[in-house]
C-alpha cells in the first residue's frame, strides 16, 4: 500500500508541473458517453489520457496511466488538441500535437471498450502533407471538427507568430488555408469553438492587454474584433497587418490577472449562441468573459468550491461544451489532480470535483490492459516497445486469435455478444483485429476520412453538431465465390481456381 501511495504521488507530481512546460498541455473533447481528456507528462513527454470506456465522468488513471501510443515522439511542452465522437459502440479520437522535430502530427485512434485504451489506427505528419512554409517551434494548436463535408480546421502559429489555418476535406486533404489574422501575436494561447456547420470562432492574445476574437462568417473571411479595447474599424484576415488599429479610448473593463505571453485560453458557445472565453490568471483563479448581445463583459466570479484555485499562475486548462444543451466543462489542475468545473444548461455551476482515478469496475482488470497499440499493428512501430505497460494475457489472447474458419466463427460470436451488451454498458473482452482494420501511411489519396454511418444515423443533428469524419481504412474485397452457404456436418474445403489468386485486401 505504501509503494502504491508513493507511485501515485510521483505521477501527480509530474502532472502538477505541466503548466510550467506549456500553456496548452491539457485538452478535451465532448462525446455523449463521456468527455475525453488528454495531458502531457512533463517528466517523460508522454501524452496521458482518460480511459475511453468511461461513462459519464471521465476516469483519469494515475497509478497505471493510459499512455498514448505514438510513432513520432511529442515535443516536451507540446500544445495538445483533440476531437472525436462516440458512435454508440466506441469512442474515436483524432489527436494533434507537435513532434520533437517540429512537425504537426495527427494521430487517429479507436477505443478498445474492454480496456479503456486507445488503439492507434494511423498517424500523419500533416504539416509535411500540407507543405507548410513554417511552424513555430512552440506553436499553439486548436482543432475544430466540422463534419463530413467541411472536415477539420486546425489553428497553429507560423515562425512569425501569425495564427494560421490547416484545412482538411475529402477533396483537398491537408492544405495551408491561410491566416486567421495577419497581426503577429505575443503569446501562443489559442482557443476555438464552432456552432452549426462552419461558424468558427478563434480567440488569442492581441498585444499585451487585449484578446482578438476572429469569427468565420458565410463569406469565408475571418472577421476580427478585440476586447476589452475595441478595434478602430472593420478588419478581416484579408486586411494588411499594418492597417489593423486599436481604439485608443479607455476600455470599459480590463482583463484581470492577465499575462498574454503564457496564458492558456478555452472557449465555448451556449444554446443561446452566446460565446464564452475562459482563462486562469496570474492569481491562479479561473476567469470568464461572456458575450451579451454584441458586447463582451466579465462574468461574475464564482466561489472557491465552484472555481477552486489552480496549482500555478496562468495554468493550462481545457474547455468542452455541448452547445444545443448549453452545458460547459472546464478542466485544470488543483492540488496535483485534474478537477472538473461544470455548468448546466440553465447557467448554474456545480461544485467542482476531482476526476476519479479508478473506475468502479477496475477491480476485474478492465483498466489494466496496458499499451494502447496491438502488437500486430502493421504500422511497424518499433518505438512502442518503450511504453512501460505490457498487454495482459487476456488481451494478448483476444488480439492473437488465429486465422481460418474457426476464427471467423469466434469473431462472429464476439461481435454478436458485443453488439447486444454495448446497448447497456461498455463491452468486456478484447476486440478482434485484422490487418485490414489498421490504416497504413500510404499515398495521399488513401489519407481520406468518411462519416461514421452509425454515428450519423444514431445521433440527432442540432445547431451544435455535425456528423464527424474519420479516416477511411482500406475496404476488404470479397473473392468471386458464388457458392451459397450451407449448414454441413463439417466445413467444406474451399479451392482457389486458377487465375483467381484471391483478394490482397482480405487477410485472415
- Span 99-126, pLDDT tens digits: 999 999 999 999 999 999 999 999 999 9
- Cite the beta strand spans of 293-365 per DSSP E: 295-298, 318-322, 327-334, 337-343, 353-354
Banded model confidence at residue 22, pLDDT cuts 50, 70, 90 = very low
Which three-class secondary structure state does DSSP give residue 156?
Answer: strand
Q: Is 401 within the bounds of a domain?
A: no
Distance of alpha carbon 149 from alpha carbon 183, whole angstroms:
30
Q: Is 128 within the bounds of a domain?
A: yes
CATH code for position 217: 2.120.10.70
**Is the per-residue pLDDT at 165 higher than 70?**
yes
Report the number of distinct structural domains present in the chain. Answer: 1
**Is the per-residue pLDDT at 342 higher than 90?**
yes
What is the per-residue DSSP string for 283-306?
Answer: TS-EEEEEEETTEEEEPPPPPTTT
Q: Is 414 within the bounds of a domain?
A: no
**Is the per-residue pLDDT at 84 higher than 80?**
yes
User: Helices in 424-464 by DSSP H: which ranges?
Assistant: 453-458
Q: Is 480 within the bounds of a domain?
A: no
H/E run at residue 105:
strand 104-112
Residue 239 CA: distances (Å) to CA of 147, 156, 459: 29, 19, 40
Q: Which pLDDT does position 497 carry in this prediction?
A: 43
Mean pLDDT, rounded, for 179-204: 94
Q: Is 360 within the bounds of a domain?
A: no
Q: Is 218 within the bounds of a domain?
A: yes
Range of the domain at 285: 2-354
**Is the per-residue pLDDT at 362 higher than 90?**
no
Distance of alpha carbon 426 from alpha carbon 128, whole angstroms:
37
- Span 237-294, pLDDT tens digits: 999 999 999 998 889 899 999 999 999 999 999 999 999 999 999 999 999 999 988 8
Q: Is 444 within the bounds of a domain?
A: no
Helix and strand numbers (H, E) in the chain are 6, 27
Banded model confidence at residue 360, pLDDT cuts 50, 70, 90 = low
Which three-class secondary structure state does DSSP give residue 415?
Answer: helix
Q: Is 418 within the bounds of a domain?
A: no
Amino acid at each position: 500500500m505504501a509503494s502504491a501511495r508513493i507511485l501515485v504521488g510521483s505521477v501527480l507530481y509530474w502532472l502538477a508541473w505541466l503548466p510550467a512546460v506549456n500553456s496548452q498541455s491539457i485538452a478535451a473533447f465532448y462525446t455523449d458517453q463521456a468527455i475525453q481528456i488528454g495531458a502531457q507528462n512533463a517528466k517523460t513527454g508522454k501524452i496521458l489520457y482518460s480511459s475511453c470506456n468511461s461513462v459519464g465522468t471521465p476516469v483519469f488513471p494515475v497509478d497505471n496511466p493510459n499512455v498514448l501510443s505514438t510513432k513520432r515522439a511529442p515535443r516536451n511542452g507540446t500544445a495538445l488538441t483533440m476531437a472525436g465522437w462516440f458512435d454508440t459502440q466506441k469512442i474515436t479520437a483524432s489527436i494533434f500535437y507537435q513532434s520533437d522535430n517540429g512537425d504537426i502530427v495527427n494521430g487517429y485512434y479507436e477505443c478498445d471498450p474492454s480496456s479503456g485504451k486507445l488503439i492507434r489506427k494511423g498517424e500523419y505528419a500533416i504539416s509535411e502533407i500540407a507543405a507548410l512554409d513554417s511552424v513555430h517551434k512552440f506553436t499553439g494548436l486548436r482543432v475544430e471538427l466540422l463534419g463530413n463535408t467541411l472536415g477539420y480546421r486546425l489553428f497553429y502559429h507560423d515562425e512569425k507568430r501569425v495564427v494560421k489555418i490547416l484545412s482538411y476535406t475529402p477533396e483537398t486533404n491537408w492544405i495551408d488555408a491561410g491566416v486567421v489574422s495577419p497581426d503577429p501575436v505575443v503569446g501562443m494561447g489559442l482557443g476555438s469553438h464552432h456552432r452549426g456547420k462552419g461558424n468558427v470562432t478563434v480567440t488569442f492574445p492581441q498585444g499585451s492587454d487585449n484578446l482578438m476574437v476572429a469569427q468565420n462568417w458565410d463569406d469565408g473571411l475571418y472577421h476580427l474584433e478585440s476586447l476589452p479595447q475595441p478595434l478602430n474599424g472593420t478588419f478581416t484576415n484579408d486586411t494588411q497587418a499594418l492597417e489593423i488599429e486599436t481604439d485608443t479610448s479607455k476600455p470599459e473593463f480590463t482583463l484581470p490577472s492577465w499575462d498574454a505571453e503564457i496564458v492558456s485560453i478555452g472557449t465555448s458557445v451556449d444554446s443561446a449562441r452566446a460565446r464564452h472565453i475562459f482563462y486562469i490568471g496570474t492569481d491562479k483563479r479561473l476567469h470568464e468573459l461572456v458575450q451579451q448581445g454584441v458586447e463582451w463583459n466579465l462574468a461574475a466570479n464564482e466561489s472557491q468550491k465552484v472555481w477552486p484555485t489552480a496549482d500555478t499562475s496562468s495554468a493550462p486548462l481545457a474547455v468542452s461544451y455541448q452547445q444545443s444543451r448549453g452545458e460547459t466543462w472546464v478542466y485544470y489542475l488543483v492540488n496535483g489532480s485534474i478537477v472538473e468545473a461544470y455548468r448546466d444548461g440553465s447557467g448554474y455551476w456545480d461544485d467542482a470535483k476531482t476526476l476519479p482515478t479508478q473506475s468502479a469496475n477496475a477491480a476485474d482488470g478492465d483498466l489494466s490492459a496496458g499499451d494502447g497499440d496491438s502488437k500486430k499493428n502493421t504500422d511497424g512501430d518499433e518505438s512502442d516497445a518503450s511504453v512501460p505497460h505490457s498487454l495482459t494475457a487476456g488481451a494478448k489472447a483476444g488480439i492473437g486469435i488465429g486465422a481460418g474458419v474457426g476464427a471467423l466463427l469466434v469473431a462472429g460470436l464476439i461481435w454478436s455478444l458485443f453488439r447486444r451488451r454495448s446497448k447497456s454498458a461498455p463491452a468486456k473482452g478484447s476486440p478482434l483485429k485484422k490487418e485490414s482494420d489498421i490504416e497504413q501511411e500510404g499515398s495521399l489519396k488513401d489519407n481520406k476520412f468518411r462519416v461514421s454511418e452509425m454515428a450519423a444515423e444514431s445521433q440527432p443533428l442540432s445547431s451544435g453538431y455535425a456528423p464527424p469524419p474519420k479516416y477511411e481504412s482500406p475496404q476488404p474485397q470479397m473473392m468471386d465465390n458464388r457458392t451459397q452457404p450451407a449448414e454441413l456436418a463439417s466445413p467444406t474445403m474451399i479451392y482457389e481456381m486458377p487465375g483467381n489468386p484471391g483478394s490482397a485486401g482480405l487477410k485472415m
